[in-house]
Structure 1
């Protein structure tokens, strides 16, 4: 796609800011602000944005977290840090979100952090490369360590003298792990159970209008395998892709691949069956005026789909219908066993449709997409943005960002328009878009997700981009529409989970899997965050500085 900066600004919505949609509540992956009526502001108040010029970073392969001038960071918490007398912070942190304990104090609250998967080399002192048949040499104690280090963490954090710090041993601090008992929010048992053991593969997420956390189980088949069906609908189980936990614990694959809701007050959790089972990247909620919920979520895998759940009852993630997108014809197709005769030809009831959502979506003719990952709702226009990271099987190595415009701006509409408004590639300066976040002034921030085994390789298409990065696309001023690199990750790492504090002055960000390509623990490819242990550690950082405050100043003026 030819890049047109003017066209991009128009697509983002700058030309129609006066017709801003003002939702009663907007709860999404990175932003909980209400839209701003730009035209109500005087030109004088916008001068600081018009004159703001950003000088982006050049691509770097340095083993460090690099930031543009005007920003700084400090580490809030890293793998292995104590959060209570019983618990430590988990591995490979991904999604983050922050909820103040008191709305009047944005500098004291609860931070939720996902822990997606582990590297046994560090977590359980097990190196697959040492054995021809690795699973024959693992112990259940090693697997238990791995199970503890996935899931999520709740930690209370406070900002004091400009630094965010964990409040150790706070009663809210706790771990949710692959051992935690979690209710299945459904009327029928799943594989004979109404309770699952643990959550895992926790990628991105969201929050709810009632202030609970959503964490999404993505590549669940890497832990206990998967159930597959042949042409005659006969089931068989295939082994996991990397963890091999099914050799130690006989938990059904059908208990994983869901959106999980966690209550920060007591740590209780439930898995929402009505939202479907697949490789959920995130779950972005919109609350309608009648309090019904619309939930957007994508299946992060090649040739999979974009979904939307519309509740039939207020504040429900159970009662309602799950839809899948036909982006070619602009239709939301109902995954409703009762009303879709086609689904009855293969599935015995609605429960089976939801468990096998991928098959049901394809049966209805949903559009195959290139790894739909994060989803964000523009706080000014109400348009839905979806990062399509890549699909090498179809020749799309750099990915793109998709825009969905619901008919008449109604989030419960069953028709929409879709368009690709920005494609990855050397011409646009980024590749493989992943997590998205709008800041409080409507600027679009996003991270990249180039795989570690392809970065900085001369024979790979990502050589010019070097390390994964964090980008911003300003909405206003001289740099409006430009893709600007704000941060560069350490070696092998991915920057994930961008989330702005309520006052817009801090960007919480995960640094995930630094040193992932390490083969020998005594010779790591990264030693970030340089804490003296000489091994890489995933961590959550707080990015602050004059630049973020200037870019969010629009919100501060309005509020």
Structure 2
């Protein structure tokens, strides 16, 4: 089938929307852009302006600040601990961001969803593991309760006035989703005896649906309640978590590791079992002409896999088939218990296949990948980009971006071609790619995720890159295809969750875990955002400026690019 750019939805998101673009049927549900429709021809004069646009390349820096190239500025919208209402505060370690305007004709007033992935107990619960020979013996349930409150997600109303975005405190929409929020499952079979699961955590990436709800993805779920592992005889055992919450709350690990849908109007939520259980970095939805949904999602762990769900009913994230990628042979393999004898021999039913999706994928011969993270669909070509952050166990220190080309440009195809779009390393000027976002003109934005323990160390291969950064790969002009650094993060931090405002004039961006390597609160490794508490705080910022406005023109062109 012929790829049709006008099928990319735009009612909101990272590549723009508003009254200019008619809502269609692509929704990206990871830290990615919502591609636009209607890349129509513009004047030769405008094309000339885009081609002559000069982009400055920021020099790598280890400075403790958020640095931007000329033509960009930022202000902080909300940070950890800020009161969003008289009863709730903004959570810790914000990751994915997503903005939905109340009115498609007004891009400056709406709801911001923000993930809260995990906590640093030193900051959140005043628990310092380094103070004890056996830390677990000294932890209290009150400390764990504080940590449980500070993960999950936040919904806050924000408005732009006089060029600055501000939270509307005590708005009726403002609320928290935490590790104690009851959440239903969208499935007919209970999970470990329950149809209502307690809480969400490890919320890394997310997005929106065509029906205007938020999606949030549980990634490193085993950090809090551990994991159930099976030996060759299929006998289960429990692997303890690193955070030790199971010592205080006996919730099964199987209740976590899912994609969750949140209703912004009332905060009700459901976990989508059909999309499988693993370390979901993202979930990128594409709605077909018949309203069936295709969902791409990756498992962010060394030697894990890339998945695709194809629904069998319109607007459903329940009825359908989950597939896993064989990138060597270009095939989508069905995780279908009923029709795969090898799965029937290992698992008792389809529910168990979905709970143990990682095992099922390996039994089918899926290709092991180097930490598949964010997924983005190119709004011009329809190609699918997947960031592979790195895999040190396989000597892949700098990662790459994988390109998937579905056969006949059909998103429900079961065959495809896979290739490397761009490799990390000094030659290309970036390392450890994480989040992707296309803007209104089709330029590709990218964040990096060099771990705080490896950053700026002489004994690690990351010294040339300094702090984590925000990059753009221009689509036009003399710099087309080059990787250009436009922002540098504070010490120990990474940028996450890039999302463009509907008019393309603001880039919402999270600054996650600044000062993560701090051992003593009196001597933090970072002090960003430099408020009165003088300690580092995760925050969401708005990046604005002439450069973003020039690159995010609403008049599109159709360049030759593959």
Q: TM-score of the superposition, structure 2-length normalised?
A: 0.95
2:197/2:255 contact within 8 Å kept: yes
2:493/2:515 contact within 8 Å kept: yes
Query: What is the distance in 1 between the residues matched to 2:173 and 2:119?
Result: 24
Question: For 1:73, what is the secondary structure of its paired residue?
Answer: strand
Question: For 2:312, what is the secondary structure of its paired residue?
Answer: strand
Partner of 2:350: 350
1:537-548 paired onto structure 2 within 5 Å: 537-548=537-548
C-alpha spacing 1:64/1:90, structure 2 compared with 1 (3 Å) = same
Query: What is the distance in 1 between the residues matched to 2:427 and 2:91?
Result: 38
Question: For 1:22, what is the secondary structure of its paired residue?
Answer: helix
Query: What is the distance in 2 between the residues matched to 1:357 and 1:33?
Result: 29
1:36/1:379 contact within 8 Å kept: no
1:93-492 paired onto structure 2 within 5 Å: 93-240=94-241, 242-492=242-492
How many aligned residue pairs are there? 539
For 1:128-168, what per-residue CA distance to the aligned partner results, in whole angstroms no more than 9, with x for missing partners?
00011111101100000000000000000000000000011
Displacement of 1:556 after TM fit?
A: 7.4
1:330/1:415 contact within 8 Å kept: yes
2:3/2:409 contact within 8 Å kept: no
1:20/1:36 contact within 8 Å kept: no
Query: What is the distance in 2 between the residues matched to 1:179 and 1:37?
Result: 44
Query: What is the distance in 2 between the residues matched to 1:378 and 1:33?
Result: 7
Partner of 2:21: none
1:45/1:557 contact within 8 Å kept: no
Question: For 1:313, what is the secondary structure of its paired residue?
Answer: coil
C-alpha spacing 1:114/1:19, structure 2 compared with 1 (3 Å) = closer
Query: What is the distance in 1 between the residues matched to 2:303 and 2:120?
Result: 27
Q: Does 1:77 align with 2:78?
A: yes
2:305/2:366 contact within 8 Å kept: yes
2:33/2:436 contact within 8 Å kept: no
Q: Which moved more, 1:544-553 or 1:44-53?
A: 44-53
Question: For 1:314, what is the secondary structure of its paired residue?
Answer: coil
1:455/1:466 contact within 8 Å kept: yes
1:292/1:311 contact within 8 Å kept: yes
Partner of 1:510: 510
Query: What is the distance in 2 between the residues matched to 1:209 and 1:487?
Result: 32
1:20/1:381 contact within 8 Å kept: no
C-alpha spacing 1:105/1:554, structure 2 compared with 1 (3 Å) = closer
2:206/2:216 contact within 8 Å kept: yes
2:511/2:540 contact within 8 Å kept: yes
Query: What is the distance in 2 between the residues matched to 1:448 and 1:286?
Result: 25
For 1:247-301, what per-residue CA distance to the aligned partner results, in whole angstroms no more than 9, with x for missing partners?
0000000000000000000000000000000000011110111100000000000
Question: For 2:136, what is the secondary structure of its paired residue?
Answer: helix
Displacement of 1:84 after TM fit?
A: 0.7
Gaps in structure 1 of 5+ consecutive residues: 1-17
Query: What is the distance in 1 between the residues matched to 2:303 and 2:461?
Result: 21
1:182/1:196 contact within 8 Å kept: yes
Displacement of 1:31 after TM fit?
A: 2.3
Question: For 2:353, what is the secondary structure of its paired residue?
Answer: helix
Query: What is the distance in 1 between the residues matched to 2:286 and 2:214?
Result: 14
Query: What is the distance in 1 between the residues matched to 2:77 and 2:318?
Result: 35
2:82/2:89 contact within 8 Å kept: yes
Displacement of 1:320 after TM fit?
A: 0.3
Q: TM-score of the superposition, structure 1-length normalised?
A: 0.95
1:46/1:554 contact within 8 Å kept: no
Query: What is the distance in 2 between the residues matched to 1:305 and 1:326?
Result: 9
Query: What is the distance in 1 between the residues matched to 2:163 and 2:554?
Result: 21
Query: What is the distance in 2 between the residues matched to 1:153 and 1:550?
Result: 31
Query: What is the distance in 2 between the residues matched to 1:348 and 1:555?
Result: 54
Specify which of 37, 40, 49 is matched with residue 39 of structure 2.
37
Query: What is the distance in 1 between the residues matched to 2:448 and 2:53?
Result: 24
Question: For 2:5, what is the secondary structure of its paired residue?
Answer: coil
Partner of 1:3: none
For 1:64-104, what per-residue CA distance to the aligned partner results, in whole angstroms no more than 9, with x for missing partners?
00000000000000000000111000000000010101111
For 1:154-191, what per-residue CA distance to the aligned partner results, in whole angstroms no more than 9, with x for missing partners?
00000000000001100000000000000011100000
Question: For 1:553, what is the secondary structure of its paired residue?
Answer: coil
Displacement of 1:421 after TM fit?
A: 1.5
For 1:312-331, what per-residue CA distance to the aligned partner results, in whole angstroms no more than 9, with x for missing partners?
01100000000000000000
1:20/1:37 contact within 8 Å kept: no
Displacement of 1:19 after TM fit?
A: 7.3
2:398/2:425 contact within 8 Å kept: yes
Gaps in structure 2 of 5+ consecutive residues: 8-23
Displacement of 1:557 after TM fit?
A: 9.2
Partner of 1:90: 91
